[in-house]
Structure 1
Amino acid sequence: KASPFDLVAFSDSDYGGASQDRKSTTGKSQFLGRRLISWQCKKQTIVATSTTEAEYVAAASCCGQVLWIQNQLLDYGLNMSCEALSKEISTSILC
């Protein structure tokens, strides 16, 4: 049974959608249990040269947000460990 304190994060990027400035769009979301607690959608600050690089930048940004959330939860006495689940199109982090 899933805990109400399971921290799950998703990230994805759109490499081919930016024809003018060639910057990929990144989307990321974090859920605590089944509740959305954080999300963001914005253009990446770098120009990725491949889909893989754009996905890596999106995943790294999402991991940074997850670490921040984990530190906030530590303040409340909730200690979590993480495992990464890599998928073909998006990256998931389960804490």
Structure 2
Amino acid sequence: MVIPQRKRPEIALCQMGAAVDVGYAPRTLLPDRLVEEALGRYPRLGFKEAMTSAFCGLLRRNEAAAATSPVVADVGERRLDGFRPIHFCDVIAGAAFDE
């Protein structure tokens, strides 16, 4: 959460909301009234399953997407049989240079 907080306030606020939404930041950071109002306007509608399913779909289309995000790789490891993310040690060992 460090980088967005050094940006403009609206960027930090958006990042904080996303962190609370997915469970990285505690919901108690936000006032109950604000949470209730937001959920009244924008119900979650199965957000947890939809979010993880979206990441699974991304990985089915392009397994290399896991290399761009440890969060996406985590979902693949937990939800996709036989999924194994690309490990950085394998990437560097396979670099096209003689040592």
Quickly name the TM-score band, shorter chain normalised.
Answer: under 0.3
TM-score for the superposition, normalised by structure 2? 0.21
Q: Which has the higher strand share?
A: 1
Q: Indicate the structure (1 or 2) with the bigger Cα radius of gyration.
A: 2
Q: Which has the higher helix share?
A: 2
TM-score for the superposition, normalised by structure 1? 0.22
